[in-house]
Amino acid sequence: MDWWSVFQVDNENGIQDNTSCGICCLGADQILGILEKLPVLSILAFGMTCRRFRVLADSDALWAHVCRQEWGNIAVDAWLNIGRNAKIGWKGLHRQMLALNSITWQRLHQGDFAPSPRASHSMVSFSEKVTIFGGGYDGGRHLDDTWSAPLPKDFSNGIRWQQISIGIPGGRFAHSCTLVGNALVLFGGINDHGTRQNDTWINKGLNVSNMEGQNLWQSLEVVESPSPRGAHAGCYAGDRKVVIYGGIQSDGIRLDDTWALDLSERPLPTWCKVVTSCSPPARSGHTLTWVGGKQIILFGGRGTKFEVMNDVWLLDMETESPEWVELRSGELHAVRSCPAQRTGYNCPAARAGHSSPAPRAGHSATLIFGGRILIYGGEDSRRCRKGDVWLLDPMAGIPIGHGSSSVVVRNEAGGSKSGRRFWRKLKQWGDRPSKRSFHAACTVHSGCGVLVFGGMIDGELMPAAAGGLGFDAKLFLLQLTP
């Protein structure tokens, strides 16, 4: 007998039979303690049984617990600071965060001394500071400068850049730059002679208060290295590891190999090829995004026939045998009716419109609160640049293909799959930037905002043509909108 059967409910009058033992005999605090351990849809279903349980299931204290459990304390506190309406209560706040459907753009003032126009550069935020390195600009020439700026709590006055160093590391674009603890790890890239590189650099000076004029980059001696490449993707992989995938090697061939650098190895860090039973098709201009634990999400890119893609892959390194598996939307399998739908609660899984973003390369993919990934911009196979914004929720994906049965998509925030939607296109408000590709983006405000800098934009005379390319130096804040 399950716990639902220990009491009787008169559906017409909402009256329960309290004569039998069971959950009805428990006090409110005891029932709330049970509800705190249940997923959201179970809480909503419980609240449909009678008036007393509906009051308990709508408790503000319960939904405050749910919000912090699902999204994390830091993300919730940041969300509260950007416009929570106290009248909606914590249940309404949870609905806002789950059903996020719009963003607001704001162009930020950078002062007179700021990074020059560029594309295929890197930008990383850490400890209330943002750092930019390298990139390419007009004529295929590279840049070798490093810039840093403190991140204010209020961006209304813009930010102020410092140029940290020039010439070290050597200039390049289409490299990868990954935050590992309090250090940046840079690998590969292309110089202005078109030469692909496979050197590894580390910057351990992110905590230095005044970095101006200091050389904080050091060449990192490693055991073995991946082949020289550019236009690959890299990201953190947990346990002080960096993972890279794909890219274009010196002969122009696109790659489909996966490598991991273990910074904890002694006496020297080690690059090791990650062997999996299958792998995504070879590509360049894609993105890798760490989503917690030892799991990484790959999206998009340009393939061996110059086609662009919009597939989603998960690299699971939780076990001794890493696996690549493709993820697809599970919304087609959603139930026709769910408790959320019947209670008026916003249930994305029960709605129609299972759209996904068009294929692209040169986009950005930034982790925001709740283990979700914000996709912005990019370009199609004809190099037409894009300006759309999408939200990807790996927790709503279903692994398919070889090895999928052993893979569990994890969420660092600890939330359940209830009401989640694999893809969601977001509405845009505010001072929207020009459509762009090969820009850089990083998260701010504990995952409630994203900074976007630079990239390639269409020229005024010949939009989408190679001769009409422009390189941008504007900085924008993308704010997730309650």
pLDDT along the chain (482 residues), means of 10: 39 47 81 90 90 91 89 79 70 83 95 95 93 90 94 91 92 97 95 93 78 75 95 96 97 97 92 96 98 96 96 94 93 47 46 75 95 96 95 93 64 55 95 97 90 88 55 95 71
Q: Read off the amino acid at residue 382.
A: R
Name which of 203, 190, 179, 199 is nearest 123 in CA terms.
Answer: 179
State yes or no: cis peptide before 169, omega within 30 of 0: yes
> Side-chain half-sphere of 287: how many Cα atoms within 13 Å?
32
Kindly report the backbone phi and psi dihedral angles of residue 32, in degrees, each rounded to the nearest multiple of 5, phi listed first: -60, -35
Contact 317, 237 (CB under 8 A): yes
> What pLDDT is recorded for position 337?
42
Kindly report the backbone phi and psi dihedral angles of residue 462, in degrees, each rounded to the nearest multiple of 5, phi listed first: -130, 75
Q: Read off the amino acid at residue 373.
A: I
Contact 311, 300 (CB under 8 A): yes
> What pLDDT is recorded for position 330?
76
> What pLDDT is recorded for position 119?
97
> What pLDDT is recorded for position 14?
47
> What pLDDT is recorded for position 423?
96
Contact 183, 200 (CB under 8 A): no
Name which of 119, 129, 150 is nearest 436 in CA terms.
Answer: 119
> What pLDDT is recorded for position 295?
96
Q: Which residue has the tokens 């634990």?
A: 293
Retrieve residue 148's tokens.
Answer: 């840093």
State yes or no: cis peptide before 359, omega within 30 of 0: no
> What pLDDT is recorded for position 114?
96
Maximal C-alpha separation, the chain = 84
> What pLDDT is recorded for position 353?
45
Q: Where are the domains of the chain?
A: 3-72, 102-480
Distance (Å, whole) CA 285 – CA 257: 14
Reported in sequence order, the residue ranges of 237-341 that DSSP labels E, i.e. its strands, are: 241-245, 258-262, 270-273, 287-290, 295-302, 308-316, 323-329
> What pLDDT is recorded for position 351?
44
Helix/strand/coil for 145? strand
Q: Read off the amino acid at residue 298.
A: L
> Side-chain half-sphere of 226: how many Cα atoms within 13 Å?
33
> What pLDDT is recorded for position 481?
76
**What residues does 122 pair with on adjacent strands?**
133
> Side-chain half-sphere of 165: how many Cα atoms within 13 Å?
15
What class, spelled out in words, does domain 102-480 have in CATH? mainly beta
Distance (Å, whole) CA 185 – CA 126: 13
Kindly report the backbone phi and psi dihedral angles of residue 50, in degrees, each rounded to the nearest multiple of 5, phi listed first: -165, 170
User: What is the CATH architecture of 3-72?
Assistant: Up-down Bundle (1.20)
> What pLDDT is recorded for position 15?
45
Q: Which region holds residue 104: left if phi is over 0, alpha if psi is between -120 and 50, else beta?
A: beta
> What pLDDT is recorded for position 334?
43
> What pLDDT is recorded for position 211?
57
> What pLDDT is recorded for position 2?
41
> What pLDDT is recorded for position 86?
64
Whether the CA torsion 426, 430, 436, 442 is positive or negative: it is negative
Distance (Å, whole) CA 413 – CA 400: 24
Retrieve residue 161's tokens.
Answer: 């850049």
| Confidence (pTM) | 0.85
Helix/strand/coil for 100? coil
> What pLDDT is recorded for position 5?
39
